[in-house]
Amino acid sequence: GTCRGKDSPFLRSHFLPGRLLSALFSTQKRERENIHSEKMRISSTAVMSVALSATLAKSTKAFGMGVSRTARRGIPLAMVSTATESTDAAPADAPSNPLLDQAGLPRFASIEPSHLTPAVTDLLAKLDADFASLEEKLSSSASASASDFDDVLPAVERIQSPLGYVWGVAGHLNGVKNGDELREAYEKNQPGVVQAMTRFSQSRPLYDALKGIEASWEASSASESGDDDFYTNQKRRAVEGNLRSMTLGGVGLEGERKERFNEMRMRLAELSTKFGNNVLDATKAYGLTIEDPAEVEGVPASARAMWAQAYKMHAMSENPDGDEPNVDAEKGPWRITLDGPSYVAVLSHLPNREYREKVYRAYLTRASEMGDEAKNNVPLINEILKIKNEMSAMLGFENYAEQSLAQKMAPSPEAVAELTDLIADRALPAAAKELEEITALARERGGDEYSEDNLEKLMPWDTTFWSERLKETKFDLTEEELRPYFALPAVLDGMFGLVRRIFDVEVVAADGEAEVWHPDVRFFNVKDASTGKRIASFYLDPFSRPADKRGGAWMDVCIGKSEACDRDVPVAYLTCNGSPPVGDTPSLMTFREVETLFHEFGHGLQHMLTEASVGDVAGINGVEWDAVELPSQFMENWCYDKPTVYGFARHHETGEPLPEEMFEKLKEQKTYGAGMMACRQLYFGQLDMELHSSYDPEGDETIFDV
């Protein structure tokens, strides 16, 4: 799911005190690892870098803060104003600062980093005054024990809305349009936002009012809180979730313990932002140039074209006033980067073993002690783990893993371990057999380089390459043969046709109705197919941009449905890092990229088609993190449904449908490499749990000993 692989968030709080704090961590949203390295058997030392990116960057989002959906992957639950149709031209009476113009969709084309500080400064002052007034009301003797839901949580939503809008937009741009000025503005304002939101999560008047509401419901008649009352149950779940989130946010702490807790919370926000920035910087700083055509022999044409385009773009950025470089996809030069599609192509298809190793090691050691010391995340990881241990202890938990599960369906670390062991017992034998087959093929076809005398076992940079060769041998089908049938425009049409068929909604292109942050971004409206009424909208940012966009794929909330804020048209961000168009050729997707798009759209649909009206539980909000993947996995499965696939799988030049024998082979490939993939994911999960349960960051062992 979206939570697989790197940068997937470890904990998200969907409820009020954590709601706006979730936007603090928009550098790690709901996302999937957009590379095929699940086919690799990764050594424990090498995988540590990936696992740390996967589990530690995201795991700083805790203690009621929530996350904005990468990790996977969380969701900035920004409380924004009523969603209306937006055009490129702002209304005549719109505020001069576009971040303060909250009458509709964000004015992305107008927003500059310089707008952030004045907007946050103004809104923090307003929030402080408004919440002080609410706390005074809640503390009064007349209302302390008789608060009504409609006087509490809706009021807080309205108070948080303006700042949540601004910080949510800033967090989103930090992930898709990252730059030095925006980083500086974001980091400058982050402490003030953390402090303000901490006030919500630790407000005793608010907590006592919610406890009073809960107690009154418990004493009420069944007719007022019956299981068949959907609206009442929304309110009950919202109150329960907020109380739990506030408890984890330190509402019960006092004095020096509370002061120390809040200092650590502030530091975690700082560390999380720095961690993500370091990974992004290390990713975009790397480049490997290849000039000899013999070194890329056998590499698919799409990969060579992508690398040639990367070389051209890099050369022009280095010398913007110079002549356009002469680059040819067949003759080179080519530039390999650590961007997802480029990295996947290297490990899957580049025959030069030395180059594969270089790129693999560069990717796995991004932002580590093996690179720029100023961008080294290892000290940050140690500090993150120490802080989280201390905060968990303050809250009465044995460890952070136990604290994290307090907001999940899994009841305990022991239950997680039991399930992990159960899956491992079944996956390990399959993985061993798969690796044996891959190794045998490498020995047979790889020459002396892969003989037992010269290579005791395949290395991590070998397994994906030879796994691809074995798959081609088994199924007589290559990714390159499939790509021409999966042009992005056709895939979108097919996906939209599917949702009309199963959900009775129509997705209509609405480019130009909303400002966007990059020319590649599309905007769509979702309408009730029966009435034509607009019920939701979404942005789609489909292609990789390693210079300013972080890797992976994620769904994020732009506007959430909320009765309190008079918002009934939710809006989503869908972000992928797919293969970009090359020249006049449209984006030709790998099948994995098709699955990723369907997956993220599944998350988007849960957000956009929600019937709940209480903001805290509308859409994805309030769904436990280990249950939230159901809609996305549901949508992924349609990628193997024949009528659905033939709704979009046609050759981008000839219009011919995907040959039936290719579709049958595609279905047969579905479980190829499943054993190794499962073991890889189990490794990440086990490492995550180990680091956050039994590992002592102040002991003799280091994270690399785990």
Give 420-483 as a 3 state SS string. HHHHHHHHHHHHHHHHHHHHHHHHHHCCHHHCCCCCCCCCHHHHHHHHHHHHHHHHCCCHHHHH
Question: How sure is the predictor about 79, in pLDDT bands with cuts at 50, 70 and 90?
Answer: very low
What is the model's pLDDT at position 90? 53
Tell which CATH architecture fits domain 483-676.
Answer: Orthogonal Bundle (1.10)
DSSP run (H or E) holding 115: none
> Which residue spans within 73-145 are E strands per DSSP?
none
Model pTM? 0.84
Question: Given 3-state DSSP classes, what are the helix, strand and coil percentages for the chain, each rounded to the nearest 5?
Answer: 55, 10, 35
pLDDT at 187 exceeding the cut of 60: yes
Least confident of 16-25, 515-524, 538-547, 562-571: 16-25
Task: Give the model's pLDDT for residue 16.
Answer: 35
Q: How confident is the model at residue 92 (pLDDT cuts 50, 70, 90)?
A: low
H helices of 140-254, in order, are: 149-176, 180-201, 204-219, 230-248
- For 96-123, what is the mean pLDDT? 96
Q: What confidence score (pLDDT) does residue 95 get?
A: 80
Q: Which of 458, 435, 223, 486 is nearest to 357 (CA)?
A: 458
Establish whether domains 17-30+94-272 and 483-676 are of one fold: yes
pLDDT reported for residue 61: 30
d(Cα 224, Cα 530) in Å, to the nearest integer?
A: 34
Give yes or no for residue 7 having a pLDDT over 50.
no
SS (H, E, C) 365-398: CCCCCCCCHHHCCHHHHHHHHHHHHHHHHHCCCC
SS3 labels along 546-594: CCCCCCCEEEEEEECCECCCCECCCEEEEEEEECCCECCECCECCHHHH
Catalytic residue (choose from 33, 593, 595, 600): 600
Percent above pLDDT 70 for the chain: 85
Helices 674-691 and 413-445: angle between axes, nearest 10 degrees: 140
**Cα–Cα distance measured from residue 688 to residue 383, given in angstroms and rounded to the nearest whole number:** 16
Distances (CA, A) of 198 to 22, 191, 203, 246: 12, 10, 8, 9
Residues 656/467, Cβ–Cβ less than 8 Å: no
Share of the chain above pLDDT 90, in %: 77
Cβ-contact 273, 559 below 8 angstroms: no
Say whether 437 is catalytic.
no
Contact present, 60 and 478 (Cβ < 8 Å): no
97, 120 in Cβ contact below 8 A?
Answer: no
3-state secondary structure 329-346: CCCECEEECCCHHHHHHH
Question: Could you give the C-alpha distances from 428 to 450, 466, 606, 676, in angstroms and in order?
Answer: 24, 19, 34, 8
Amino acid identity, position 665: K
- Point out the least confidently predicted range of 111-125, 284-298, 308-322, 386-400: 308-322
Relative to beta strand 571-578, strand 534-543 is parallel
Q: Is 90 exceeded by the pLDDT of residue 111?
A: yes
Residue 290 per-residue DSSP state = E
Q: How far is CA 626 from CA 1, 12, 386, 622, 623, in A?
A: 10, 11, 25, 12, 8
Maximum distance among all Cα pairs of the chain, rounded to whole angstroms: 85
Which residue, chain included where needed, has tokens 């809960």?
214
Instruction: Give the model's pLDDT for residue 322.
Output: 84
pLDDT in the model for residue 481: 94
To the nearest whole number, what is the mean pLDDT of the chain? 86
Q: What CATH topology corresponds to 17-30+94-272? A: Neurolysin; domain 3 (1.10.1370)
For the chain, what are the domain ranges? 17-30+94-272, 286-364, 483-676
Residue 219 has what pLDDT? 84
State the Cα torsion 663-666-670-673 to the nearest 10°. 170
Q: Which tokens in the block code for residue 570?
A: 């939710």
Query: Position 456: which residue type?
Result: E
- Using CA atoms, how far residue 7 sits from 175, 354, 593, in Å, is 12, 28, 18
